[in-house]
Chains A and B, each alone.
Chain A
Amino acid sequence: MAEIRFEGVDKHYGKVEAIKNLNFVCEDKDFFAILGPSGCGKSSTLRMLAGLEDITSGSLYIGGRRVNDVKPSERNVAMSFENFGLYPHFTVYENLAYPLTVKKMNKADIREKVLVIAQEMQLTSILNYMPGSLSNGQKQRVSIARALVRNPDVTIMDEPLSHLDAELRGYMRHKIKHTHRALGLTTVYVTHDQVEAMTMADKILIMNHGVIQQLGTPDEVYFNPANEFVAGFIGTPQMNFIACSIQSEGTAVSLINPYGLKVVLSDEQKHMLGGHAGPVKLGVRPHNIQMFTEKTSGRLMTGEVYIVEPLGETNIITIKVGDIQIKAETEPSFKPKLNDTVYFDISSDKCHLFDGNTGKAFF
């Protein structure tokens, strides 16, 4: 069992509060991603888990054992570092063998374990190389292999793919996910790349400014973001946020903005909005905006084409509505010219609504 539990954990660096009141649980055998922009405290969280940083206050449990004062070597966690952290004067074989040598395992067992993991990570042919002569992709695979070689309770990965090129990143994503399943690991994975988190993780913890924003499955954080930050961080192209005000006409409630935007809310949405009357932000993902070149029905809003970004299977079109810009994802056949007038529609069942002041999601 290697359930990880953070209970009210704070981390201060001098006067800087890097992490405030962190509470979460990572279940045994989960692939748990911690996602956030640079400086959000995700690496500090990870380093506290590994034991490389002290915990200022609060408690950290691994498998039910409080490990605040337990040395990294006694936590049975393995870590793969962003900068690989390989031993430069050891060969790849010696790098992989080191965690086992430290445990005083006998040589034959070490050799067998290293060869198996090397085969798994396709390192067999480079076992006698020095790290200095490897490519980044190979170094990263060595680093991950070294983390996996000793059956750790928890495997920690700190942005392992950030130094790789796009193609290799895709390959390694699948490799890591497969290894996680095959070996039945509990993996904590830190990244600033939402694609990595979405594609690999069972659970995603999103952090910003040292505070948890949301914890959920990839579907949950994508379809039901807890606040504006999460909604904006997950998904590419980014969700559109449009400042609106609430207008009530009889029983109907709609969102309007000065540029002719109008979205009528459903009964359920009205209920979720409660009696809120202050400023709000409408959030809508680019592929939920329908675009037309001609005005066909009375409900459509008008904008001017600002940028067209063809991606092959879709086009990303940025339109200007007054002084705001809205991105829409359309069929590749829809190719308006710059400065054309286009018409668009936002269906209310596909949009999100956030409090204009706090950013908290209504739905």
Chain B
Amino acid sequence: MKKPRGTITKHLLVAPALVMFLAVTIFPLLFTLVLSFSNWKLGGKMQFAGFDNYKRAFTDELFLKTLLITCVIVVVAVAIEYVLGFLLAMTVNKVVRGKKAIRILILLPMMLAPVVIGFMWKMLFDESYGPINHFLGFLGLPTVSWITNSTMAVISVILVDVWEWTPLIALILMAGFQSLPKEPYESARVDGSSEWKIFKDLTFPMLIPASIAAILLRSIETFKIFDTIFVITSGGPGTATTTSTIYAYTVGLRNFNLSYAAAICIILLIIVVVLCTVFLKLVLKKRKNIELPDEGAVAEMGVAAK
């Protein structure tokens, strides 16, 4: 046998990427982990603190509140994005002409930088000078405190996320729609299935893999939401729109309690991993296997049937 040549070359070629990966991903993660078990204020000495930071997090009412806010935003925003994205993809899939142009138009919000989107919506939402309230007033409707009322602020933040990210879900599902096979639909029509049943039994189940990908992707991203909210409300009014990431930022980089911020980040990471795993477990149900009878029983049935 010939010895594979150039093993060193291969490793050398992979090395830069590996080093980058270690430096950018693995090191910060490990550093954060170490940090979370310590008691380190900027400029001070690092001291081992055990689970103190974690204990503090679970008794910190504000942190628990931010977790709740984050979860509400994730669930509501992703649910709306999925429903709208699905309808959008289904509609675009039926369009015969100009599919490409529509696709590009749909993608526009996604192409903007989140900070730009933040400033744009902050301007739109402005209570006194914003165009939305201007139009509402023009139509004789009461104006809305988009970002100054605690409840409205959460709704507004969800609204922006939906506006920004529905296109992504629509895009993923459009790809799903396009890859649907044609034949099962003809089978189903001949088998006597109605349009609604065809959607329920064929289209939707066959789109489940694409749906899972879209929902998972968006849930993880929304859980980490930071930039748009930071720009629009900075977590306010009060702490109404302070998500856990914004809270971690405030704790770590405003109050300079880096160890506690690190613990919060690690908790968030664990929550995301656990939630995703649970979600996948729930969605990817094991298929139902039927119990196979022995051959004699079937033969008897056959005789009975005739």
Interface residues, chain A, CB within 8 Å of chain B? 50-52, 71-74, 77-79, 81, 83-89, 91, 93, 98-99, 102-103, 111-113, 115-116, 118-120, 124-125, 127-128, 130, 146, 150, 156
Contact B290 A73 (CB under 8 A): no
A89 to B205, CA, bound (A): 7
Contact A119 B191 (CB under 8 A): no
Contact A111 B290 (CB under 8 A): yes
Contact among A77, A85, A120 with B302 in the assembled complex (CB-CB below 8 Å): A120
A113 to B290, CA, bound (A): 14
- Residue among B181, B298, B302 with the most chain A CB within 10 A? B298
Q: Is B2 an interface residue (CB 8 A)?
A: no
Contact A128 B295 (CB under 8 A): no
With CB as the reference atom, state the residue of chain B lying closest to A116: B302
Contact segment of B118-126, B166-174, B193-201 = B193-201
Apart from A52-B190, A83-B183, A119-B298, list 17 A-B contacts with CB within 8 A.
A50-B190, A52-B186, A72-B189, A72-B192, A73-B189, A73-B190, A77-B190, A85-B187, A87-B184, A88-B184, A91-B288, A98-B201, A115-B298, A119-B299, A125-B292, A127-B292, A128-B292
Chain A residues with Cβ below 8 Å from B289 are: 91, 128
Contact among A102, A111, A120, A146 with B197 in the assembled complex (CB-CB below 8 Å): A102
A141 to B175, CA, bound (A): 31
With CB as the reference atom, state the residue of chain B lying closest to A126: B292
Contact among B186, B197, B301 with A81 in the assembled complex (CB-CB below 8 Å): B186
Contact B191 A112 (CB under 8 A): no
The 9 closest A-B pairs by CB, nearest first: A85-B183, A73-B192, A85-B187, A99-B191, A128-B289, A119-B298, A79-B190, A72-B189, A116-B302
- B273-306 interface (Cβ within 8 A of A): 287-290, 292-293, 295, 298-299, 301-302, 305
Chain A residues with Cβ below 8 Å from B298 are: 115-116, 118-119, 124
Q: A88-B184, A112-B301, A112-B305 are in contact. Are A51 and B189 (CB under 8 A)?
A: yes
Q: Is B19 an interface residue (CB 8 A)?
A: no
Interface residues, chain B, CB within 8 Å of chain A? 181, 183-184, 186-194, 197, 201-202, 205-206, 208, 287-290, 292-293, 295, 298-299, 301-302, 305
Contact A85 B290 (CB under 8 A): no
Shortest Cβ gap from B301 to chain A (Å): 5
A124 to B208, CA, bound (A): 28
A88 to B179, CA, bound (A): 13
A-B CB contact pairs (8 Å), 30 listed: A71-B189, A73-B189, A73-B191, A73-B192, A73-B193, A73-B194, A79-B190, A81-B183, A87-B184, A87-B187, A87-B188, A87-B201, A88-B184, A91-B287, A91-B288, A91-B289, A93-B290, A98-B191, A99-B191, A102-B193, A102-B197, A111-B290, A112-B301, A116-B298, A116-B302, A119-B299, A119-B302, A120-B302, A128-B290, A128-B292
With CB as the reference atom, state the residue of chain B lying closest to A52: B186
With CB as the reference atom, state the residue of chain B lying closest to A103: B192
Contact A127 B192 (CB under 8 A): no
A103 to B288, CA, bound (A): 21
Shortest Cβ gap from A77 to chain B (Å): 6
Chain B residues with Cβ below 8 Å from A111 are: 290
Chain B residues with Cβ below 8 Å from A99 are: 191-192
Chain A residues with Cβ below 8 Å from B187 are: 79, 81, 85-87, 146
A120 to B302, CA, bound (A): 9
Chain A residues with Cβ below 8 Å from B194 are: 73
Contact A88 B206 (CB under 8 A): yes
Q: A119-B295, A124-B298 are in contact. Are A51 and B202 (CB under 8 A)?
A: no
A111 to B197, CA, bound (A): 21
A226 to B181, CA, bound (A): 41
Contact A72 B197 (CB under 8 A): no
Chain B residues with Cβ below 8 Å from A98 are: 188, 191, 193, 201
Contact A84 B183 (CB under 8 A): yes
Contact A102 B191 (CB under 8 A): yes
Chain B residues with Cβ below 8 Å from A112 are: 301, 305
With CB as the reference atom, state the residue of chain B lying closest to A92: B290
Contact B192 A102 (CB under 8 A): yes
A343 to B187, CA, bound (A): 57
Chain A residues with Cβ below 8 Å from B301 are: 112, 115-116
